[in-house]
């Protein structure tokens, strides 16, 4: 691959992920404000949360939290888009997110699979099954469940249903 091809491929990747991110947030009813705030924070304010916070009327803490959420969503989408055909797994995709969510995903989503799907468990049940505190389970389950829905939707959107889709989402997304 020559240098120009590499630059084009590198530029296309964020566009592709953002395109899917916008589509998936609409399809799944996710908060569009997170993506908009993230883009403003990084494109207009160069990541400066103090100025962005004042201008956008959002706390710096909320901006940082929503930025982490958007980054995790983008990472899950990217992993789903790049998953080889023989490795289309929602659990593996969410587990590949390099954060605490990814570390908790195998246990949390595994418990959901055994219970009959993501809608069959809550944070209290996950706390008992995984041994995590209720607050930890609640924090990671809400985000992990959203990432699982995003990964499942991304696989389906690209005509590549995940092997664990029916165990996690037996009634659909």
- Would the pLDDT of 151 be above 60? yes
pLDDT at 6: 53
In this prediction, residue 42 has a pLDDT band, given cuts at 50, 70 and 90, of: confident
On whether the CB atoms of residues 73 and 93 are closer than 8 A, the answer is no
Q: What is the 3-state secondary structure (H, E, C) of the chain?
A: CCHHHHHHHHHHHHHHHHHHHHHHHHHHCCCHHHHHHHHHHHHHCCCCHHHHHHHHCCCHHHHHHHHHHHHHHHHHHHHHHHCCHHHCCHHHHHHCCCCHHHHHHHHHHHHHHHHCCHHHCCHHHHHHHHCCCHHHHHHHHHHHHHHHHHHHHHHHHCCCCCCCHHHHCCCCC
pLDDT at residue 4 greater than cutoff 90: no
pLDDT of residue 37: 81
Position 24 pLDDT exceeds 90: no
Write out the two tokens for 38: 């993230």
Q: Does 123 score more than 90 pLDDT?
A: yes
List the domain boundaries for the chain.
3-168
Q: Rounded mean pLDDT of the chain? A: 86
pTM of the model: 0.83
Q: Which two tokens stand for residue 44?
A: 């207009």
pLDDT of the residue at 2: 53
- CB within 8 Å of 64: residues ≥ 6 apart: 49
Half-sphere exposure of 78 (CA within 13 A, CB side): 16
- Tell me the average pLDDT across 146-162: 93
Percent of the chain topping pLDDT 90? 40
Cα within 13 Å of Cα(87), Cβ side: 11
Angstrom distance (rounded) from CA 115 to CA 102: 20
CA dist 163 and 66 (Å) reads: 30
Higher pLDDT, 90 or 32: 90
Residue 62 clears pLDDT 80, i.e. is over it: yes
pLDDT per residue as tens digits for the range 65-120 = 888 888 888 899 989 999 998 889 999 999 999 888 889 999 999 999 999 999 99
Contacts of 37 (CB under 8 A, 6+ apart): 52, 56, 58, 63, 66, 67
């Amino acid at each position: 691959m020559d240098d120009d091809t590499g630059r084009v491929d590198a530029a296309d990747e964020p566009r592709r992920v953002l395109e899917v991110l916008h589509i998936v947030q609409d399809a799944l009813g996710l908060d569009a404000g997170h993506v908009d705030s993230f883009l403003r924070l990084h494109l207009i304010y160069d990541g400066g949360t103090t100025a962005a916070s004042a201008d956008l009327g959002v706390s710096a803490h909320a901006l940082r939290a929503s930025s982490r959420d958007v980054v995790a969503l983008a990472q899950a989408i990217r992993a789903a888009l790049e998953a080889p055909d023989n490795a289309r797994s929602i659990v593996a995709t969410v587990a590949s997110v390099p954060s605490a969510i990814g570390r908790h995903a195998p246990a949390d989503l595994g418990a959901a699979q055994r219970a009959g799907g993501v809608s069959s468990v809550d944070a209290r049940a996950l706390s008992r099954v995984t041994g995590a505190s209720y607050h930890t389970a609640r924090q990671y389950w809400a985000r992990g469940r959203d990432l699982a829905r995003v990964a499942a939707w991304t696989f389906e959107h690209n005509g590549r249903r995940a092997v664990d889709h029916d165990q996690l989402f037996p009634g659909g997304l």
